[in-house]
Amino acid sequence: MILHGYWRSSATYRVRIALGLKGLTAEAVGHDLRLNAQHDPAYLARNPQGLVPAIETDDGVVGQSLAILEWLDETHPAPPLLPAGAFARAQVRAMAQVVACDTHPLQNLRVLKRLKTEYGFDDAATQAWARGWVAPGLAALEALVQRHGAGFSFGDQPTLADCCLIPQLYNARRFETPLDPYPALLAVEATALAHPAIAAARPDRQPDAG
């Protein structure tokens, strides 16, 4: 497997966590989003959307982090990223989508770049914009983790929800989002980052970090 990504991309971070939890290795190929390297024709030929992450498999290329996580779980089912039971799996998917669908897209790099280039936002304004979307997402997750968590976001084992939550907390700190209102999330983060596989996926531990 080849994982195309960027060290600071939280979507790529999700996939690194899942790979680590499953004891899998993938060759890492970095694309510096600051330099728009993801728009290189060779990469677009692999992933026409021109986003990271994408994973090259024996069957072809899969884009979109949640699709990659589901693919990993189906092709390498142990340990599972989804719990037993249809309702429990739906809850975990919903928690992951709070991040991947409703929070992260509005504060990712391409949106922030456009706010600056087309709408004249300065650094302070873009940071405030990002915080304005991050905080409601974290508030929703705080309530859900209080309801369903038992060490991790859902139950006592890492799931798809943790693969999304931990990178989102990393982003929240980048945007100087106050985290004191989310004690349940911080407790999950502490538990998760004590897991060697999750700790190894941290952005600052990647070979292209900097």
- The answer on 157 and 142 residing in a single domain is yes
- What is the distance between the alpha carbons of residues 170 and 152, in angstroms, rounded to a whole number? 16
- The answer on 117 and 139 residing in a single domain is yes
- The answer on 66 and 39 residing in a single domain is yes
User: Into how many domains does the chain fold?
Assistant: 2
- The answer on 23 and 126 residing in a single domain is no
Question: How confident is the model at residue 202, as a pLDDT?
Answer: 98
Q: In the listed set 79, 103, 122, which residue is the last one of a domain according to the structure?
A: 79
Q: In the listed set 79, 110, 145, which residue is the last one of a domain according to the structure?
A: 79
* CATH (domain of 38): 3.40.30.10
Q: In the listed set 79, 95, 128, which residue is the last one of a domain according to the structure?
A: 79
- The answer on 136 and 160 residing in a single domain is yes
Is residue 204 included in any domain, yes or no?
A: no
Domain containing 170 equals: 86-198
- The answer on 139 and 66 residing in a single domain is no
Is residue 205 included in any domain, yes or no?
A: no
Question: How confident is the model at residue 23, as a pLDDT?
Answer: 98
Ranges of the chain with pLDDT below 70 = none
- The answer on 185 and 100 residing in a single domain is yes
Supply 27's token pair. Answer: 């060759």
State phi, psi for 78 to the nearest 5 degrees.
-120, 130
- The answer on 117 and 71 residing in a single domain is no
Is residue 150 included in any domain, yes or no?
A: yes
Supply 62's token pair. Answer: 């899969």
25 exposed, middle or buried (CB, 10 Å; 0-12, 13-18, 19+)?
A: exposed
State the Rg of the chain over Cα: 17
**Within 10 Å of residue 160's Cβ, how many Cβ atoms?**
28
Question: How confident is the model at residue 210, as a pLDDT?
Answer: 79
- The answer on 73 and 96 residing in a single domain is no
* CATH (domain of 185): 1.20.1050.10
- The answer on 190 and 105 residing in a single domain is yes
Query: Model's pTM, two decimal places?
Result: 0.96
